[in-house]
Amino acid sequence: MTRTIVVAVFAVAACGPETSSFRTTDRGDPDRPTAAQHVVPNVAVGDVWSNGGYIGSSDEPMTHVGFELRNTSSRPIVFDADALRLSLFDKYGAALPPARFSAITPLGPARIAVGAGTTKAFDAYFVLPVRPRVVGTMRVQWSILANDRLYDLTSNFVRDDDEAVTEPPVSAPPSS
């Protein structure tokens, strides 16, 4: 009887919360080693990171992608949330169905203006078509509009559960 209880406790503990964490495979930000850093000369510096995958409040698998966009130009620039795409791949590199964009916080327009010389941070949330632990890598495609020119950028991440997330991000909206 005692052995059965011990085995059951270990089995439940081994399952734990279903979370995953990601780190960038791109050139990183020295201040944020898990964040990708993209420099668009004379326009912007963008840091992109993920707090990982988790199960949302409505039991849907979710993931988070954070952005910090520093406008280094003398004119406003625009981050286009409508252009966000998250491609997912399993641990063997096979494509998974795409994630569905759910929300951006702070809540506001889909086109986020960043004034000259200022910085804005925001978080994007996606519903995953699979459980978080199935995702081996992900690719975030995002865009900046500056000086009547569109800059398409890509940030790449690989699952890195050495620093697994144990809770969803504090600002996570309810899953849709």
State how far the alpha carbon of 95 is from the alpha carbons of 41, 92, 134, 140, in Å: 32, 9, 11, 14
Q: The whole model's pTM is what? A: 0.80
Whether residue 77 contacts residue 143, with contact meaning beta carbons closer than 8 Å, is answered with no
Read off the amino acid at residue 106.
P
Domain ranges of the chain: 21-162
CB hemisphere CA count around 115 (13 angstroms): 1
- The two tokens of residue 105 are 């916080």
Query: How many whole angstroms separate alpha carbon 139 and alpha carbon 37?
Result: 14
Q: Across the strands, what pairs with 65?
A: 124
For residues 20 and 63, the model is more confident at 63
User: Which residue is listed with tokens 């981050």?
Assistant: 79
Query: How many whole angstroms separate alpha carbon 60 and alpha carbon 23?
Result: 22
* pLDDT tens, position by position, 110-167: 899 999 999 999 999 999 999 999 999 999 999 999 999 999 999 999 998 754 444 4
Fold of 21-162: Immunoglobulin-like (2.60.40)
Cβ atoms within 10 A of the Cβ of 36, count?
23
Lowest-confidence pick of 2-6, 20-24, 28-32, 95-99 = 2-6
HEC-encoded secondary structure of 20-85: ECEEECCCEECCEEEEEEEEECCCEEEEEEEEEEEECCCCCEEEEEEEEEEECCCCCEEEEHHHCE
- The two tokens of residue 75 are 């004119």
- Give me the chain's average pLDDT, please: 83
Whether residue 159 contacts residue 137, with contact meaning beta carbons closer than 8 Å, is answered with yes
- The two tokens of residue 170 are 């504090």
Positive or negative, the CA dihedral 143, 146, 150, 152 is: negative
